[in-house]
Amino acid sequence: MPEPLISGGAVRKLWVGEIKLYRQHLLRLDAESRRNRFGGAVSDEFIRRYSGSSTLNGAVIYGFFVEGVLRGAAELRLLARAGEAEAALSVERAWQSHGVGTALLERVLLAAGNRQVEHLHMLCLAENRRMQQLARKFGAQLNFQSGNVIGELKAPCPTPISVMRELVADGTDLAAAILDVPAQLAKQREHSNGSPERRPRERRYERLVLVDN
C-alpha cells in the first residue's frame, strides 16, 4: 500500500509497463549514488541495457514516487539456489535520509518472505555507510570482502496474513499506478514542450554526462 513519507512521496510496486520509469530514475542518479547502486562507475548505455525488459524479467521492483516521478527503487531478484535472493536499492540524492530506503526494504522483505526466500543478500561498497546502517536496522549480518560488504538478511516466513498483506497492497498499488498516469503524461509534455532557449542547454548537458561516464 502506498505509504506517505516525510518527503511527500509514496512507495508502491512497479508494473510491467513502467520499466521506462525505472530506467529514467537510474539515469538520474548522481555519480556517487550511481556508483553505490552498481558497485562502480557505469555508463548511461550500461544502465539502458541493464534496465531492459528482458534483463529485468522476473524481478520484483518497488518504487518511491513523488508527483508521479520515480525517485527511489528497490529491486528483488530470486537466485538459482532455492530460498535465496538478492536486493538492491537506489534513492536520488534529494530524497536520501528521509526514510525512503527503510520503506522500500520493508516491502522487499515482505515480498521475499512470501516467495519463501530464507536468505536475502545485499551487496554494497565498503564506503557505503548509509546502506550498511540500513541493513543493520533490519538485523543483517555484514561480511567485509575485498572492498565490498555483503549483508545477509533473513526474510520472515510466509503466513496467510503476510500473503494477504501483499495481495491487498498489490491491488492498491495498481490503483495508485493508474492515478499516476496523468502526472507522468504531464511531465512528458512539459519536457517535450520546453522553451527553445532551454533545449540547447539540455542537449549539451546530456553530452557532458555521456562523456563523464
Instruction: Return per-residue pLDDT of the chain as tens, 213 residues.
Output: 444 455 678 999 998 889 999 999 999 999 999 999 999 999 999 999 999 888 888 899 999 999 889 999 999 999 999 999 999 999 999 999 889 999 999 999 999 999 999 999 999 999 999 999 999 999 999 999 888 999 999 988 999 999 999 999 989 888 888 877 766 666 666 666 654 444 443 333 233 333 332
What pLDDT, on the 0 to 100 scale, is given for residue 132?
A: 94
Instruction: Please report the pLDDT score of residue 173 as a whole number.
Output: 85
For residue 209, what is its C-alpha cell? Answer: 554526462
Rounded to whole angstroms, the Cα distance separating 83 from 81 reads 6
Rounded distance between C-alpha atoms, residue 145 and residue 153, angstroms: 17
Joined grid coordinates for residue 204:
549539451
pLDDT number for residue 179: 78
From 76, 77, 70, select the one nearest 20 (Cα to Cα). 70
The pLDDT of residue 93: 94
Beta bridge partners of 119: 84, 154
- Quote the pLDDT of residue 136: 93
Domains and CATH numbers, the chain: 10-212 (3.40.630.30)
pLDDT at 56: 87
> Do the beta carbons of residue 37 and residue 90 sit within 8 Å?
yes
Quote the pLDDT of residue 6: 57
| Whole-number Å distance between alpha carbons of 66 and 209 | 24
